[in-house]
Structure 1
Amino acid sequence: MALITKIREKSGIAAAAIAFSLVLFLVGSDIFQGRSTLFGGNSQKIGEIAGETILAPDFQKKFEEASANYTAQAGRGPGEQESPLLRDQVWNQMILDIAYKKEFDALGLSVSPEELIDMVQGNNIHPSVRQQFTNPQTGQFDKNFVIQFLKNLKTMPVQQQQAWANFEKSLGQDRLRSKYENLLRLSTYTTNIEAQKDYTAQTSKVDVRYLYVPFYSIADSSIKVTDAQLEEYLSSHKDQFKGENTRSIEYVTFPVIPSKADTASFYQQIKKLAKDLAVSKNDSAFAVLNSDVRTPYYSTLSELPEAVKTSIATFQVGGIYGPFKNGGYYSIYKYGGVKKDSLYTVKASHILISPANKTDSAKAEARKRAQTILDQIKGGANFEVMARTNSMDGSAQTGGDLGYFKNNGSMVKPFEQAVFGFSGSGLIPTLVETDFGFHIIKVTEPKTNTKYKLAAINKGIVPSQSTMDEAFRKADEFANANGTKAAFDASLKKDKSLIMLRANRISENSQGFNNLQAAREIVRWAFDKETSVGDASKKVFEVDNQYIVAVLTGKTDKDNVKIDDYRDELTAKVRADLKAEQIIKKLDGISGNLEQIAQKYGAGALVETANDITLAQGVLNSAGADPTALGKAFGLKAGQKSKPFKGEAGIFVMETIKSIPAPALADLSTYKNTARLMAAQRTSFYINEAIKEKAKIVDNRAKFY
């Protein structure tokens, strides 16, 4: 468009002619194929957000801007894997710009120019700014770098000025979103009744005996399920079986695997590279020029591949070692000795207990809870398990693991001082307090500042052109001979060397399926309106070093849910209901204690005991954590026996032997604070889902990309 505008300014009528020619050039193929939007063809509407229509040219322009920013940062344009991610980023940004902005405006939220200045060069620097302007010498944020950059901004290229403007805009949007989320997060609260419920669920205990007849004790083949029964179940459970646009395919792969000749050639190449690396005067430059993947010249022990890590103690300076297998590559190394870095590296895990608020009483409660956990770990409790069940940050999901980090200010000061002041590895015996709360820390790998000098050449075995041509020939021959599902299946029966794979319920926006990460072309073929169920692909698709021929085996429509869309799931549900009716009918006619009932029922009936179970974490031996059975156990009085009832995976007769109610607790603040913190942590997710639902987003990107 900038080119067209410039031409128009220069030459009037000529500009109009050239502009029209450019438009024809860009959309001509669509016009002649009847797909143009200029003359009443398909819409250029790529989606809708909160009532605003998103047109394909507008979206594409934003994508190109994002691509330019990516290119400026990465030094190369986005590839097949990066482009879909960038499109998602652009789409999510548009949701923020449109749907979120309406919510911000409704509440009168804004970020003032003064606030933005404070985030960039004031007293409350935004984390993104800190990251961008870290002094490489000290590893610390340097505000002078920011001020110097801003002074020189007007003399920089226009692209760089625009990039900074976009960056500042993103800072403002991030602050707006934080304000909005914090506002709603502060509205979360937990009542005494909710806290009491949590306390009771975790503390009340029962001892139970129960008869359990699992559904698997009756053979599936003995239960006949009709389509009419499936239709009835689907009709009465529509909320559980939502419609969506999906496709199912079967496909045959023809992998491009290096031949014996390719492997022999590769090893000759590695041998020659090893000899040349040994005599190279500039080994680091030689390694970079000859590697498929670059690795750092200096590496800490933690950064080395496992095979090298276990062998490096035997390396001699100037020696050549390898090849070592590292993922999909083979590596050879020239060892140049060690050096001491100015920074130390350590690996640690932690458990964070945060106070509910900034009051002294809340801090005291948090400290008490943290000390209790620390004492339990000292007494033999598993650190990782305690982290998963108690830590109040994201590392809880990985057992508290924080990975490797350096003493460069990446961690808050008290935490960093405690970890890097600790000798060796193991549990730090005292709590560490920071602004985030109280930390229980375990050093899993001791600090070190030793770096190893290794010039590494990393090469992958690449199939030769003749190997690739032969694989394609086989795939193309198969595709040409098998245009339908029937022919597809017949060929597979004849040729046992071919392996057929399935991918079910592929979504419209999927970039791949199963273990294929970049199979967008196959997905688009499957969703093409010209592709019918039973059609095989005439084209051979190339994905991840293999050729693929596919056949479409199924379609689902979000506006028309059919039993075939969920046949397996529906059949399992209906079959379970029929088994439940059969088992309960048989049990209803039997009396006596649990052992007598089981004996009279016959094969399949189990009698088991579970002691000291809680409602929150109860497990019933063979039946597992069945919520219906657990609820029934806590609902019965001691000595009371239930009638047969259906659980998740079988039929129960429950008998409560002993019930131990939760002791009276005057102060529920711990449970109240924990529940509130957990609710606050989920706020961001719930906000996002609610805004997207309210915006009634229509996403048609799959029709364009």
Structure 2
Amino acid sequence: MAIISTLRDKMGKFLVFVVGFSIAAFVLGDILGPNSSFIGQNRNIVGYINGEEIDLLKFNTVYEELSYNFSLNNGRSPNQQEISDIRDQAWERLINDISYVDEFKKIGLTVTDKESVDMVQGTNIHPMIIQAFSDPSTGSFNRDNVIGYLQNLSTQPANQQQAWYSFESNLKPMRLRSKYDNLITQSTFYNSLDAEAEYFNSSSQIDLAYYYVPFYLISDTIFDVSTSEMRSYLNKNKSDYKQDETRSIDYAFFPVLPSAEDSSFFENEIGSIRENLLSGNIIDDSTYAVINSDSFNPFTKYNPDELPDELVGMSVGFVTPPSYSNGAITVKKLSKITKDLKEKARAKHILLRFDDSNKTSVRSEANRILNLLRSGSDFDETARTYSQDGSASNGGDLGWFSDGVMVKPFQDAVFSRNRAGLIPRIIESDFGYHIIYVTYPKTKTSYHVTTISKDILPSDNTRNNIYRSAELFKLDIKSDENDFPAYIKLKNITGGTVNDLDKNSSDLGPVQDARNVIIWAYADDRYEEDISDVIETDEGYIVAQVNVITDEGTKNLDEVENSIKRRIIDEKKFTYLNEKLSDYTSLQDLKDNLGLGEIYRSSGLSLSENSLSNVGYSPESIGTAFSMEEGELTRPFKIDGGIIVLGLESKVIPDTLSTYDDFRNTLIQTSRFNIPLKIDDAIKFFSDIEDNRYKFF
């Protein structure tokens, strides 16, 4: 079983478990049945990968495999965030299965059956198998262990057999991907000239002077910008003004909260429970608590300093009055006080480790710290500062421990003490010198507490009433053609407007987990001023109206007019300044002639930098400067926010080396690390991927 667990942990997103058709059919039956709203007009197409349609059935089949794998590995169903992550993994796997496989086929890349066997029990065994079947104590791998396991596989539980077969079936895809990555990675070559260039580029430095005139020093009012100029600019620079598909919606939110009647019901219920606890007629408090409480661990054993405050000093049988917290009503009973078989205590310590060479000096340091504590220094802060034990971050706290657990000198010191406080001497053990503070002295006493909580939840009747309110609102807003925002304000209903609602969002303003509303808003048949039916969320009911639909494409001029006008004016300012900066032999000439701007200097610049002091982000300036000769001046050129002229004052070039192999190896290692990521980006880029999952999930 440990072997299978190890394999599961190492497989990551590659390890999937085959789920029978019956599971997929069960899950998808309602979605793709004859009454499904997804059928027709290609509304069941989740996306396209490399020209291939990915319908809902195909996507959910992969998703169910991965979800089943998650449940098998973790012993539970995935939560909402994990469901979202698994959907992402399913999409990535489909890309791998379609786009990568096409690439493998183009170059005739395969993994033979002989290779598959070799990965499991041959001479080139897969690293995951080596790790899973290695001796934990020695780290040695024995191929016979694998063979023996496989020979007895048929006697293993069905889920372990299934886990192995799924793992084995994924070895071939993983090997194919590894071959493909290696094929491209190993074809990347850097020669000695590349290595030499890398050395000089990374080691050279320059001292740079530059004359910079920010555009804001020139008034905008001297430049006119016409609408036709802005339209022309937008047409030529569409890529800078792309917009994603978005929706803006108004919504009314009807939170589902417990009514006064609901609260009264649970108060009466917890009152009856309290009476039963007080009566003494309950045979077993722990069983009663498990049956009646909505909270976890309703019957708990406490150490003396952990007992809830409301039970401190109370007698056995005492039951607290009901208290309210986090939407629940709770009572607690001190069910019994028992004596443990062994004594226990709680302590914190500061540990200073030593060896034969420094034992004396470490003891002196321990005594110095002990004196600090005697003088009133805070133990927790002192432990965080000086202790060399893992407990230092917790102020040295070791928690509760039983007699016989700790190393003997430490144990004797703690358990010989009858009161809390600092032990006024240094304790030596095999671990080092201990400075000990007894938080709670030895005791055998434990407290057993029954905690019964009832979550105050809205009843079905309350939910129905709130749903009816939402339904009536929808009918009113539709029939009276009221202005949506004004109407929710008039009716004093919670709600608002969300502009540019992201298609992948889960929240609607302050309302969390409102994914159903976003899916509705992005449906293909939505139109502006379309009003939804009542949509249920985890927190209540929502009625929404689409007020703006923005299609994917280029933004309208009125949306980006200020930005475009700013760019055009900056272009005109550059032309204006450039004409005035035509005759110069030094940067000072430029400043004297124009009477604007400043001359700045930066020393020790390297090619890896991308900004200049007093200028900001300007990688083009750095790149240009490194191409210059000493004493050279550039022509004026435009950068973001202004115009600049560079003057190279000096360049420090490092000495030549006899060999540049270290730099060549660095280039190769960096390339080998980055290439698989670049391959993945390139495959996706050329796969013409259209991801429409946001319309379904």
TM-score for the superposition, normalised by structure 2? 0.59
Q: Which runs of 5+ in 1 are unaligned?
A: 5-18, 299-311, 341-421, 426-442
CA–CA distance in structure 2, aligned partners of residues 262 and 610 of structure 1: 71
In the TM superposition, 1:619-634 aligns within 5 A as 619-634=611-626
Classify 1:640/1:696 alpha carbon distance in 2 versus 1 (closer, same or farther; 3 Å): closer
In the TM superposition, 1:635-654 aligns within 5 A as 635-648=627-640, 650-654=641-645
Classify 1:75/1:230 alpha carbon distance in 2 versus 1 (closer, same or farther; 3 Å): farther
Identify the match of residue 539 of structure 1 among 534, 541, 544: 534
Classify 1:493/1:319 alpha carbon distance in 2 versus 1 (closer, same or farther; 3 Å): closer
Letter in 1 for 2:661: S
Classify 1:74/1:692 alpha carbon distance in 2 versus 1 (closer, same or farther; 3 Å): same
Classify 1:502/1:132 alpha carbon distance in 2 versus 1 (closer, same or farther; 3 Å): farther
The one-character-per-residue Cα deviations of 1:641-670 (angstroms, maximum 9, x if unpaired) are: 54543212x113334262223224334333
Classify 1:134/1:646 alpha carbon distance in 2 versus 1 (closer, same or farther; 3 Å): same
CA–CA distance in structure 1, aligned partners of residues 297 and 215 of structure 2: 56
1:696 corresponds in structure 2 to: 688
1:525 aligns with 2:520: yes
1:27 aligns with 2:28: no
The one-character-per-residue Cα deviations of 1:542-581 (angstroms, maximum 9, x if unpaired) are: 25x46555443444444xx2323x9756742551332342
Classify 1:286/1:485 alpha carbon distance in 2 versus 1 (closer, same or farther; 3 Å): same
CA–CA distance in structure 1, aligned partners of residues 329 and 111 of structure 2: 52
In the TM superposition, 1:606-621 aligns within 5 A as 607-621=599-613
1:208 corresponds in structure 2 to: 209
CA–CA distance in structure 1, aligned partners of residues 610 and 175 of structure 2: 43
Query: Does the 8 Å CA contact 2:220/2:569 hold for their aligned counterparts?
Result: no
The one-character-per-residue Cα deviations of 1:236-291 (angstroms, maximum 9, x if unpaired) are: 2344555754444455666678999999999x99xx99xx9xxx999999899968
CA–CA distance in structure 1, aligned partners of residues 661 and 176 of structure 2: 32
CA–CA distance in structure 2, aligned partners of residues 505 and 463 of structure 1: 31
1:622 match: secondary structure = coil
2:360 corresponds in structure 1 to: none
2:642 match: secondary structure = strand
Query: Does the 8 Å CA contact 2:212/2:615 hold for their aligned counterparts?
Result: no
Classify 1:499/1:320 alpha carbon distance in 2 versus 1 (closer, same or farther; 3 Å): same
Q: Post-superposition shift, 1:91?
A: 3.2
In the TM superposition, 1:652-663 aligns within 5 A as 652-656=643-647, 658-663=649-654
Classify 1:339/1:46 alpha carbon distance in 2 versus 1 (closer, same or farther; 3 Å): farther
Letter in 1 for 2:643: F
In the TM superposition, 1:43-442 aligns within 5 A as 46-78=46-78, 80-113=80-113, 115-117=115-117, 119-120=119-120, 126=126, 128=128, 150-155=150-155, 161-191=161-191, 192-193=193-194, 196=197, 199-200=200-201, 202-215=203-216, 228-240=228-240, 244-249=244-249, 316=304, 319-320=307-308
2:576 corresponds in structure 1 to: 585
Letter in 2 for 1:522: V
Q: Post-superposition shift, 1:170?
A: 1.8
1:207 match: secondary structure = strand
CA–CA distance in structure 1, aligned partners of residues 122 and 181 of structure 2: 23
2:502 match: secondary structure = strand
Identify the match of residue 563 of structure 1 among 523, 536, 555: 555
CA–CA distance in structure 1, aligned partners of residues 559 and 214 of structure 2: 23
Classify 1:48/1:489 alpha carbon distance in 2 versus 1 (closer, same or farther; 3 Å): closer
CA–CA distance in structure 1, aligned partners of residues 287 and 130 of structure 2: 31
Larger radius of gyration: 2
CA–CA distance in structure 1, aligned partners of residues 142 and 305 of structure 2: 38
Q: Post-superposition shift, 1:213?
A: 0.7
Q: Post-superposition shift, 1:73?
A: 3.7
Which range moved further: 694-703 or 450-459? 450-459
Classify 1:102/1:652 alpha carbon distance in 2 versus 1 (closer, same or farther; 3 Å): same
Letter in 1 for 2:638: K
Q: Post-superposition shift, 1:174?
A: 1.6
Q: Let me know the Cα RMSD of the aligned residues.
A: 6.2
Query: Does the 8 Å CA contact 2:134/2:140 hold for their aligned counterparts?
Result: yes
Classify 1:657/1:489 alpha carbon distance in 2 versus 1 (closer, same or farther; 3 Å): same
Classify 1:339/1:98 alpha carbon distance in 2 versus 1 (closer, same or farther; 3 Å): farther
2:190 match: secondary structure = coil
CA–CA distance in structure 1, aligned partners of residues 238 and 593 of structure 2: 40
1:212 match: secondary structure = strand
CA–CA distance in structure 1, aligned partners of residues 469 and 203 of structure 2: 62
1:617 match: secondary structure = coil
Q: Percent identity?
A: 26
The one-character-per-residue Cα deviations of 1:605-654 (angstroms, maximum 9, x if unpaired) are: 45543332223215322322312333344455555554543212x11333
1:552 corresponds in structure 2 to: 546
The one-character-per-residue Cα deviations of 1:399-456 (angstroms, maximum 9, x if unpaired) are: xxxxxxxxxxxxxxxxxxxxxxx9669xxxxxxxxxxxxxxxxx99999998989999
Q: Post-superposition shift, 1:44?
A: 5.5
1:504 aligns with 2:496: no
In the TM superposition, 1:467-506 aligns within 5 A as 482=477, 487-491=483-487, 500=496, 502-504=498-500, 506=502
CA–CA distance in structure 2, aligned partners of residues 136 and 209 of structure 1: 63
2:189 match: secondary structure = coil
CA–CA distance in structure 2, aligned partners of residues 536 and 528 of structure 1: 12
TM-score for the superposition, normalised by structure 1? 0.59
Identify the match of residue 681 of structure 1 among 655, 669, 673: 673
The one-character-per-residue Cα deviations of 1:191-215 (angstroms, maximum 9, x if unpaired) are: 5247515632552212324223155
1:611 match: secondary structure = strand
Classify 1:128/1:494 alpha carbon distance in 2 versus 1 (closer, same or farther; 3 Å): farther
CA–CA distance in structure 2, aligned partners of residues 328 and 673 of structure 1: 62
2:617 match: secondary structure = coil
CA–CA distance in structure 2, aligned partners of residues 161 and 55 of structure 1: 31
CA–CA distance in structure 2, aligned partners of residues 232 and 68 of structure 1: 55
Q: Which runs of 5+ in 2 are unaligned?
A: 1-18, 278-282, 312-324, 335-339, 346-386, 403-445
1:28 match: secondary structure = coil
CA–CA distance in structure 2, aligned partners of residues 283 and 204 of structure 1: 75
